[in-house]
Amino acid sequence: MKTRASSLGSAGAILARTVATLLAAVLLASCWRPIFDEQVSSGALFYDKIGSPFRTIGPVSVNSDMIDGAFLPERILDPYNGFWVRKESSSVTVNFIKYSGGSYALSTAATSMPANGGSLGFAGSAYFATNQTIILGTGDGTATTTMSLYTFTAGSPDSLSLTGNYAPAGVQSVLGLGATQVAGSPSDTIAFIYRNTSSQLMAANYTSSSAVPAIGSNAPLDAGTASVDAVGRAFIGVDGAGSALYYYGGGNTVLRWTWTTGVGASGTPATIAVQDPLVAVLSDGTLVCQGKDYLDAYRPDGSEIFSTPAGSVRFVQEVDYSGVEYCIFAQSLFAPKDNSGDTSVYIELWRRPTGSFSSLGN
Amino acid sequence: MVSGRRIFAFAAAIFAAVLATVAVGSVGAQAAAASTAATPTVSAPAKKFGEGISMLLQVSGPKTLDLWRYGDTLSAVLMRSQLLHSVHRAYNDDPARLESLARYEGDPVVLDLRLSLEGRHVSARWEISSAEGAAKGTAAGAAAGAAAGAGAAEAKKVEGSFTKPAPSEDELASSFWVETVDAVNGFLSKLQVAHLRITGLPGTVVQGFGDPILLPDSGSLVLPLIVPARISWAAGTPERYPESGVFYASKDGETLAIPRRQWALDFGAYGFAFPELRLSFAPASRFFARATISQFGFGLSLQSPRDGVEEPLTLSFPLLQAGLGLGSYFAPPMKELRTYFATDFFVRLFSPQNRAIYLDPVAPIGVQPSYGIEWGRGPVARLYLEMGAVYYPWAKPGLMLASLGGDSPSSLVFWGNGWFPGENGWFLEIPIFRMGLRLRL
């Protein structure tokens, strides 16, 4: 017969087993987190608007330390290759992803650029398939920084070397704010945006193209406040008869200066309210902003065109093909091959004519 | 890997919760045991429930008198009264019965009858009471007095006596008790009677009002009782948690609602990390339906430092799961340990940058079968632990894997079709744990 004492003992055993089970389960599940990434899910929402990718690159076996980077494809309409650019605390590391023989391979990384190191700010980049040159605008927040130009030996992207630091003619010591493709110009036109020692904003063409009405030293833009000094936030855009320089001031503000050839606009810049950081200015003057999850488009006057989740589908650049401009989007996804922990990256590319860019908001 | 400091804190919290539940459950169990042990004694009820009130008849006297004979005949005569529903009897030569009745607190009126033999005559002295003064010196009387209302403003008591020749059987059944019966009827007619409604699940047996009450299919009945009254009641069905309590009746039209415990509220932790809320409804004792809101905006992380960098103690994802489920227990409610199986269907909603809410296109719908263990000693607070799997039938497996950001999954994952990003397929994650505290309402 079951006694009360044995009942109590049984209850105690049940309690002990329950507590032990709970603790064991806590240990097992303490690392659990949902399989969810808001950028990936936001990117998937964007699929319905942007359609199927025209190119999928990968899988490319990578190390886990490559995750914090972005794919920079060739500046052509139908790229197969591209750079994998990672910004680190004091340097920029570049790998080359090359398509050959039906598969993709990753080159040895060219690390710690520029060689002089320091507190590097990544000011922007441009990659030319024609001569395999990558241009990195760098800056460290002082007035002694120059733009750095790196060029690969033709046909050998593995051997990336510093070919020299570039500074606009006559200016040897500037605060670099950006190296950006000039919207609406031939695709090899790059403008350097910098701030001189007199707190004047300047823009100069790297190439000999005259697509950008030069402001030169004769028509400086007044930086207005000392806060216009962060690298990677300045962009050049064509605005009607003249040009415009945009500077993302952080938060929800973009500053805008305009000028025409030989006539500088030294007054107070216009202020445009945005929801996400400015990442590009298109050839038609459209401002492209992209944050963690959203892609936003604004007209030059600051009015919103659309705002839509795009997440991991990132705007990369605008390229010119036979006089028609295309917007290139890329999505880089890391996924474990299996439960072993090995990782591969998949890169998908989309293109959309700039003329129909605004329809992405529909 | 797990940080030892965090494990200790987490384990301590769980242990405290278990102890608290045990304490609450033990008190409830003791109360339930005390109530259910008081099995009422019924003296041949010949009336429908609700017709009249019940009375405790205490008979004492010398052993030379056949007290049972006198008590039985008085009880039978009293039962002719429309004001009485039942009469419970206790004799001074039956201590066990007195003890039993002492624990039974249902009789609001006590008739204390003291018999003595004077030569060839029988002397009877009685005292009828419905208040504290009703029972002096006996355990049964003390209990009955408490039942009749310790807070009564006016103690109601009637006394009387007679001496008659030793009666024959016919006289006992007719004229011998005339004075006593008149006194009882007079007493009862002056009591304040109120009508109390008792509600609960149909089939519930309620004790504490004299005879056990069986709630009809309507789940409700009305009965008269003398007020004010303090009623210790107990209720239960074979497929329900036993319930008990104390009800203070003071006026007409009051309702005693027996808790149905059909609703339960779960305060849980999804994956032992993310607080979630669940409401369940059990129309029957074993089957239940439930709705769950699982949020991932705040969660605890017990990961140890990785690459020398301390992992954050909290996690946050703009993700919400809303689901409905069905399940069934494998054991009846009164078991301390119950196991069950449930299947939940849920949708995944997310809010990028908290601007708008979207259905997650990567894995919009999930099905989660789970096996659960529920433990508790009382009807109210129960601990539960669930282990299950999540199956996403229309997922994008490549994007699910990409959502890990290059990390290994924290559970085992399997997928079919759609390895490539953006392609459709199915995805399975196992195991998924849940634990928490279940409160039955």
pLDDT tens figures, B97-121:
555 554 444 556 788 899 998 888 9
Q: Is residue B17 part of a domain?
A: no
Verdict on whether the full-model pTM lies above 0.80: no
The verdict on a CB contact (< 8 Å) between B22 and A15 is yes
A-chain CB neighbours of B408 within 8 Å are 336, 339, 341
Q: Are residues B241 and B331 in the same domain?
A: no
Specify the residue for token string 């994008």.
Answer: B396
Q: What is the DSSP letter of A358?
A: G
The Cα–Cα gap between B131 and B133 comes to 5
Q: Is residue A110 part of a domain?
A: yes
Contact B274, B298 (CB under 8 A): yes
Confidence of residue A320 (pLDDT cuts 50, 70, 90): confident
The verdict on a CB contact (< 8 Å) between A33 and B315 is yes
Give the CATH number of the domain where residue A140 resides.
2.130.10
Three-state secondary-structure class, residue B266? strand
Average per-residue pLDDT for chain A: 71
The verdict on a CB contact (< 8 Å) between A335 and B402 is yes
Contact A270, B331 (CB under 8 A): no
Residues 6+ apart with CB under 8 A from A33: B271, B273, B299, B301, B315, B317, B410
The Cα–Cα gap between A215 and B79 comes to 115
Q: Nearest CA of chain B to the CA of A132: how many Å?
A: 29
Q: Does pLDDT of A292 surpass 60?
A: yes
Q: Are residues B267 and B396 in the same domain?
A: yes
Q: CB contact, 8 Å: B271 with chain A?
A: yes
Q: Nearest CA of chain A to the CA of B266: how many Å?
A: 17
A-chain CB neighbours of B401 within 8 Å are 335-336
Cα nearest neighbour of B350 on chain A: A38
Q: How many domains does chain A have?
A: 1
Q: Is residue B5 part of a domain?
A: no
- Bridge-based pairing state of the strands B213-214 and B205-207: antiparallel
Q: Is residue B215 part of a domain?
A: yes
pLDDT of residue A273: 95
Per-residue pLDDT of B264-291, as tens digits, reads 999 999 998 899 999 999 887 789 999 9
Q: What percent of chain A lies above the pLDDT cut of 70?
A: 53
The Cα–Cα gap between B357 and A183 comes to 34
Q: Nearest CA of chain A to the CA of B406: how many Å?
A: 5
Two tokens, residue B139: 């355990």
Q: Is residue B6 part of a domain?
A: no
Per-residue pLDDT of B212-241, as tens digits, reads 888 998 989 988 777 777 888 999 876 777
* Structural element, H or E, at residue B198: strand B193-199
**Average pLDDT, integer, range B19-35:** 37
The verdict on a CB contact (< 8 Å) between A33 and B299 is yes
Three-state secondary-structure class, residue B12? helix
A-chain CB neighbours of B15 within 8 Å are 19
Three-state secondary-structure class, residue A352? strand
pLDDT of residue A294: 96
* A31 vs A305 pLDDT, higher one: A305
C-alpha closest to that of B40 among B240, B174, B205, B267: B205
A-chain CB neighbours of B385 within 8 Å are 18, 21-22, 25
A-chain CB neighbours of B355 within 8 Å are 293-294, 307
The Cα–Cα gap between B142 and B156 comes to 15
Per-residue pLDDT of A101-112, as tens digits, reads 777 777 766 554
A-chain CB neighbours of B276 within 8 Å are none
Q: Are residues B362 and B393 in the same domain?
A: yes
The Cα–Cα gap between B419 and A48 comes to 19
Q: Nearest CA of chain A to the CA of B351: how many Å?
A: 8
Which of the residues A14, A35, A39 would you substitute to probe the B interface, choosing the one with the greatest number of B C-beta atoms within 10 Å?
A35
Q: Is residue A360 part of a domain?
A: no
Cα nearest neighbour of A58 on chain B: B420
Per-residue pLDDT of B236-246, as tens digits, reads 876 777 888 89
The Cα–Cα gap between A287 and A360 comes to 14
Final residue of a structural domain among B259, B279, B306 = B259
The Cα–Cα gap between A246 and A231 comes to 12
Q: What percent of chain A lies above the pLDDT cut of 90?
A: 21
Instruction: Give residue A241's domain range.
Output: 50-353
Cα nearest neighbour of A47 on chain B: B422
pLDDT of residue A206: 58
The Cα–Cα gap between B34 and B233 comes to 10
Q: Does pLDDT of B328 surpass 70?
A: yes
Average per-residue pLDDT for chain B: 78
Which of the residues A26, A45, A68 would you substitute to probe the B interface, choosing the one with the greatest number of B C-beta atoms within 10 Å?
A26
Q: Are residues B237 and B340 in the same domain?
A: no
Q: Are residues B396 and B273 in the same domain?
A: yes
Q: CB contact, 8 Å: B373 with chain A?
A: yes
Please tell me which of the candidates A27, A32, A294 has its beta carbon nearest to residue B410. A32
The verdict on a CB contact (< 8 Å) between A34 and B296 is yes
Which of the residues A10, A33, A296 would you substitute to probe the B interface, choosing the one with the greatest number of B C-beta atoms within 10 Å?
A33
The verdict on a CB contact (< 8 Å) between A31 and B302 is yes
The verdict on a CB contact (< 8 Å) between A27 and B2 is yes
Residue B368: C-alpha distances to residues B58, B281, B289, B290, B393 (Å)? 63, 18, 14, 13, 11
Per-residue pLDDT of A135-193, as tens digits, reads 555 544 444 445 555 554 444 555 555 555 555 544 455 666 766 666 555 555 666 67
End-to-end CA distance of chain A: 76
Q: Does pLDDT of B199 surpass 70?
A: yes
Q: Are residues B181 and B237 in the same domain?
A: yes
Range of lowest pLDDT (A27-36, A195-204, A350-359, B402-411): A195-204
B-chain CB neighbours of A36 within 8 Å are 296, 317, 319, 348, 350, 360, 362-363, 403
Q: How many domains does chain B have?
A: 2
Q: Does pLDDT of A2 surpass 60?
A: no
Per-residue pLDDT of B254-270, as tens digits, reads 999 998 888 999 999 99
Q: Is residue B294 part of a domain?
A: yes
A-chain CB neighbours of B411 within 8 Å are 32
Cα nearest neighbour of A27 on chain B: B2
Residues 6+ apart with CB under 8 A from B71: B57, B59, B89, B91, B113
- Integer-rounded Cα Rg, in Å, for chain A is 25
**Average pLDDT, integer, range A250-269:** 73
Per-residue pLDDT of A182-211, as tens digits, reads 655 555 566 667 777 667 777 766 554 444
Q: Is residue A57 part of a domain?
A: yes
Cα nearest neighbour of A42 on chain B: B352
Please tell me which of the candidates B272, B336, B400 has its beta carbon nearest to residue A29. B272
Q: Is residue A12 part of a domain?
A: no
* B404 vs A140 pLDDT, higher one: B404
Two tokens, residue A137: 């605008």
**Average pLDDT, integer, range B58-84:** 87
Final residue of a structural domain among B226, B259, B292 = B259
The Cα–Cα gap between A349 and A54 comes to 6
Confidence of residue A128 (pLDDT cuts 50, 70, 90): low
Q: Are residues B48 and B154 in the same domain?
A: yes
Please tell me which of the candidates A38, A67, A333 has its beta carbon nearest to residue B352. A38
Q: Are residues B88 and B169 in the same domain?
A: yes
Instruction: Give residue B350's domain range.
Output: 262-440
Specify the residue for token string 């494990």.
Answer: B7
| Range with the largest mean pLDDT of A241-250, B9-18, B82-91, B183-192 | B183-192
Which of the residues A8, A28, A41, A42 would you substitute to probe the B interface, choosing the one with the greatest number of B C-beta atoms within 10 Å?
A41
Final residue of a structural domain among B231, B259, B287 = B259
How many contacts does A have with B, using Cβ atoms within 8 A?
185
At position A107, the amino acid (one-letter code) is: S
The verdict on a CB contact (< 8 Å) between B433 and A25 is yes
End-to-end CA distance of chain B: 38
Rounded to two decimals, the ipTM of the complex is 0.79
Cα nearest neighbour of B336 on chain A: A11
At position B15, the amino acid (one-letter code) is: F
Contact A176, A231 (CB under 8 A): yes
The Cα–Cα gap between A8 and A3 comes to 9
Listing DSSP states for B296-323 in one string gives -SSEE--BPPBTTBPPPSEE--SEEEEE
- The edge-to-edge listing of strands for the beta sheet with A221-222 is A175-181, A190-195, A200-205, A221-222
Q: Are residues B314 and B353 in the same domain?
A: yes
CA A161 to chain centre: 22
Give the CATH number of the domain where residue B393 resides.
2.40.160.20
Q: Nearest CA of chain B to the CA of A277: how many Å?
A: 14
The Cα–Cα gap between B27 and B37 comes to 15
| Range with the largest mean pLDDT of A130-139, B38-47, B201-210 | B201-210
The region that residue A170 occupies, defined by phi over 0 for left and psi between -120 and 50 for alpha, beta otherwise, is: left
The verdict on a CB contact (< 8 Å) between B404 and A35 is yes
The verdict on a CB contact (< 8 Å) between B399 and A333 is yes
pLDDT of residue B290: 97
Confidence of residue A362 (pLDDT cuts 50, 70, 90): confident
The verdict on a CB contact (< 8 Å) between B373 and A18 is yes
Per-residue pLDDT of A33-89, as tens digits, reads 899 999 999 999 999 999 999 998 877 877 767 777 788 887 777 888 887 877 666
* B205 vs A142 pLDDT, higher one: B205
Q: Is residue B235 part of a domain?
A: yes
Q: Nearest CA of chain A to the CA of B41: how many Å?
A: 27
Q: Are residues B248 and B278 in the same domain?
A: no
Q: Is residue B7 part of a domain?
A: no
Q: Is residue B246 part of a domain?
A: yes
Q: CB contact, 8 Å: B255 with chain A?
A: no
Q: Nearest CA of chain B to the CA of A63: how many Å?
A: 9
B-chain CB neighbours of A32 within 8 Å are 271-273, 410-411, 432-433
Q: Nearest CA of chain A to the CA of B265: how many Å?
A: 20
Q: Is residue A16 part of a domain?
A: no
The verdict on a CB contact (< 8 Å) between B360 and A36 is yes
Q: Does pLDDT of B9 surpass 50?
A: no
Please tell me which of the candidates A14, A34, A40 has its beta carbon nearest to residue B402. A40
Contact A352, A297 (CB under 8 A): no
Q: Are residues B219 and B178 in the same domain?
A: yes
Q: Are residues B414 and B354 in the same domain?
A: yes
The verdict on a CB contact (< 8 Å) between A346 and B318 is no
B-chain CB neighbours of A28 within 8 Å are 433
Q: CB contact, 8 Å: B331 with chain A?
A: no
Per-residue pLDDT of B333-381, as tens digits, reads 778 899 999 999 999 999 998 889 999 999 999 999 999 999 988 778 9
The verdict on a CB contact (< 8 Å) between B398 and A335 is yes
Two tokens, residue A167: 């500074």
pLDDT of residue A131: 47
Confidence of residue B152 (pLDDT cuts 50, 70, 90): very low
